[in-house]
A and B are shown apart, each in its own frame.
Chain A
C-alpha cells in the first residue's frame, strides 16, 4: 500500500515537471538531463549529456546516460575527443543500441 502511494507520488511529480517543461517550452535536454545522440552519416556519432564510459573496444563503446545505457556498435571505432559533457565517436558505425 505504502509502496503504491510512493510510486503514485513520483509519477505525479514527473507529470507536473513535464507539464511545466512543456508549457514553458524549456529546453528538454537540460530539464530532463536526457542523452542526445546525433549521428552524421555512417561515420560519426556525437553523444551529449552522457555520464561515463562503461566499456570501450574497437567494436563497441558502451556509455552510461541518465536512465539508460547507449551502446555504439561498429568497426574501427575511435574516440576523436571526449569531455565530461560530450563525446565524438568516429569509425564505421553499425548500430546504436539503448538498453535499460
Chain B
C-alpha cells in the first residue's frame, strides 16, 4: 500500500518547498481542512519545509494570501519533471513509444495454447488437430472464434463430452472433459446423427452376451461370428395381417455386445543385448527460439560419440499468461557407452513376464477383460520366447450404415397422397 502511494506521488510529480511568513501553523490547518496533502513536513532554521503535489501547489494561492506566507520551491521530483528534463532526447521517447507499441501488438496474438483435462488424447494430437482447423500459435486473437473451436473439438473427438475455449492474456486455454466410458461402445455415438445403422462384428468372436436396446438382433449368445458379420440390424420389419413384411422401420441400432475373442501372443528377444551405460559426462548448450525459429548459440562442450539429448524449452512471458514469441532452449547431452550384456534365465523370464503384463494392461485399458492366459515362456541358449494365446471378453460391435431396402417403402409412399386427398 505504502509503495503504491509512493509510486502515485512520483507519477503525479511533487515539489519540496520552503515556507516562511506570518502564520505558518494556520497555513497547515487550512491545507488540512481543504484536503491538500502535505508530507515530510520539517522545521528547519525557523522555516518549514515540506513536500506537496503539483496539483496541491496550484490551489495554494488563497491560503498564502490569507496567512500572509510565501514559499520557495527547493526541489522538483516526479515523472512530469523527468519528462521536461528529457524533452530534447527524442530517441528516448521514440524508444518508449515503440516499446509500448510492441507490447500492444504482441498482445494481439496467441502465443500459447494450453490444453487441460485430456486423458486419452495427447496434447500434441489436439494441437495438431487445431492447426488443421487454423488455430495455431501466433494467430491473431481476433481471428479465433472460441465457440467454433469448442464445436470442432466436440465434433472431432467422440469421447469429448464438454469443451471450453477461452482467451486469457495471450494464451488460449482449452478445457475438455472426456467421457469416463471412453473405449467402450459409446452410446452417445449412436444418438449422434440418428441415421439408420447396423452393428457388425469387429473381429472373430463367440458372443458372450448381447443386450439390444434398438434394432433387430441377428445373433444369440454362444454363437460364433466372423469379422464383418451382422450382429444387430438397424431396421425392424413391420408385418401385415398375413404375417408378411409390409415395411421396415429404420433406426440407429444400439446394443451392448460382448464377445469372447482370442489374441495370439508372440514375443521373442535375444538374451544378448546392448545396454546404455552413462559415463556421467554431461554438457549443456543453449539456443534461442524466436518466432518459431531456433538459433543455436555456439557450443563449446565436449564432443560425445554417443549421447542422449534432453531439451528443455522455457518460454518468456509477462505475468501469468502473456507469452512472448521468444523462448530459451537448453540442451543437455549425456554421454553413454554401449555395453553388451547377457540376461540370466530368471532375468529373461521376469522381463518376458513384464512385457506380457504390459500387453495385457494395454488391452485392459481398451476395455478388454482377459479371462484366460495360455502363454508359455521358454528360455533356450540364445533367445527367450513367450508364445501362446489369450482369451478375452470385449465389446465387438462396430457401426455400419444400414442398406435401405426399396420395395416395402413404395407401398408407403403410395398410401400417403391418398390419405391427404380425402
- Is A98 positioned at the interface, with any CB of B under 8 Å from its CB? no
Stretch at the interface among B28-36, B391-399, B411-419: B28-36
The distance in angstroms between the C-alpha atoms of A51 and B42, with both chains bound, is 20
Q: Is B248 an interface residue (CB 8 A)?
A: no
> Taking the nearest CB of chain A, how far is it from the CB of B288, in angstroms?
48
CA distance A81 to B6 in the complex (A): 12
Pick the residue among B29, B32, B33, B42 that contacts A78 (CB under 8 A).
B42
Q: Given the complex of chains A and B, what is the CA–CA distance between A78 and B49 in angstroms?
A: 10
Cβ–Cβ contact B25 & A82, under 8 A: no
> Does residue A16 face the partner (Cβ distance < 8 Å to B)?
no
Q: Indicate if B40 sits at the interface (CB-CB under 8 A).
A: yes
- A interface SS class: strand
Q: Which of B24, B33, B35, B39 contacts A80 (CB 8 A)?
A: B39
CB distance from A47 to the nearest CB of B (A): 12
A60 closest partner in B (C-beta)? B43
| Contact between B35 and A78, CB atoms less than 8 A apart | no
> Within the complex, what minimum Cβ distance (angstroms) separates B41 from chain A?
4
B42 contacts A82, CB within 8 Å? Answer: no
Q: Is A68 an interface residue (CB 8 A)?
A: no
A interface residue count range (under 10 / 10 to 19 / 20 to 34 / 35 or more): 10 to 19
Interface residues of A in 44-72 (CB under 8 A from B): 52-58
B173 at the interface (CB under 8 A from A): no
Minimum CB–CB distance for B8 against chain A, Å:
13
- Indicate whether B37 reaches chain A with its CB closer than 8 angstroms: yes
Known: A52-B29, A53-B28, A79-B41. A84 touches B48 (CB 8 A): no
Residue total for B at the interface (Cβ-Cβ under 8 A): 16
Cβ < 8 Å to A, chain B residues 147-168: none
Residues in B neighbouring A53, C-beta threshold 8 A = 25, 28-29, 32
Chain B CB within 8 A of A93 CB: no
| Chain A residue at minimum C-beta to C-beta distance from B49 | A78
Query: B38 on the interface (CB 8 Å rule)?
Result: yes
B33 partner residues in chain A, CB cutoff 8 A: 84
| A83-B41 Cα distance, complex, nearest whole Å | 12
Q: Is A81 in contact with B32, judged by CB distance below 8 angstroms?
A: no
A84 to B38, CA, bound (A): 11
Given the interface contacts A84-B33, A84-B35, does A56 sit within 8 Å of B40 by beta carbon? Answer: no
Q: Which residue of A lies closest to B31 (CB)?
A: A82
**Contact assessment for A82 and B43 in the assembled complex, using a CB-CB cutoff below 8 Å:** no
Q: Is A77 an interface residue (CB 8 A)?
A: yes
CA distance A95 to B50 in the complex (A): 24
Whether B28 and A84, one on each chain, are in contact in the complex, defined by CB atoms closer than 8 angstroms, is no
B48: chain A residues within 8 A (beta carbon): 56
Q: Which of B25, B32, B37, B39 interacts with A56 by CB under 8 Å?
A: B25
Within 8 A of A (CB), among B38-63: 38-43, 48, 50
| A70→B41 CA distance, assembly (Å) | 18
Q: Which residue of B lies closest to A59 (CB)?
A: B43
Task: Give Cα distance in the complex from A63 to B371, angstroms.
Answer: 92
CB of B43 within 8 A of CB of A77, answer yes
Instruction: Please give, as numbers and ranges, the residues of chain A lying within 8 Å of B32 by CB-CB distance.
Output: 52-53, 82-84
- Contact (Cβ within 8 A) B38 A56: no
- CB contacts (< 8 Å) of B50 on chain A: these are 79
- In B1-36, which residues have CB < 8 Å from any A CB? 24-25, 28-29, 32-33, 35
Q: How far is the CA of A79 from the CA of B37 in the complex (A)?
A: 12
| Residues of B close to A52: CB separation below 8 A | 25, 29, 32
Q: Is the CB of A78 within 8 A of B40?
A: yes
Residues on A with C-beta less than 8 A from B41 are: 56, 78-82
- B43 nearest CB neighbor, chain A only: A58
Q: How far is the CB of B203 from chain A (nearest CB, A)?
A: 81
Residue pair A81, B28 in contact (C-beta under 8 Å): no
Cα of A52 to Cα of B24 in the assembled complex, Å: 12
- A82 to B36: give the CA distance in the assembly, Å: 9
Asked if A54 contacts B38 (CB within 8 A), the reply is: no
Residues of A within 8 A of B28 (CB): 53, 56, 82
Which B residues lie within 8 Å of A55 (CB)?
A: 25
Q: How far is the CA of A54 from the CA of B25 in the complex (A)?
A: 6
Interchain nearest-CB distance for A42 vs B (Å): 19
Between B33, B39, B50, the greatest number of chain A beta carbons within 10 A of the residue's beta carbon is seen for: B39
Tell me the bound Cα distance from A62 to B205 in angstroms.
Answer: 101
Given contacts A52-B32, A84-B32, A57 and B40 within 8 Å (CB-CB) = no
* Closest chain B residue, CB of each to CB of A87: B32
Known pairs A79-B38, A82-B32. 6 more at Cβ < 8 A? A52-B29, A53-B25, A56-B48, A80-B40, A80-B41, A83-B37
13 contacts between A and B (CB under 8 A): A53-B29, A56-B24, A56-B41, A57-B43, A78-B40, A78-B42, A79-B38, A79-B41, A79-B50, A80-B40, A82-B28, A82-B32, A83-B35
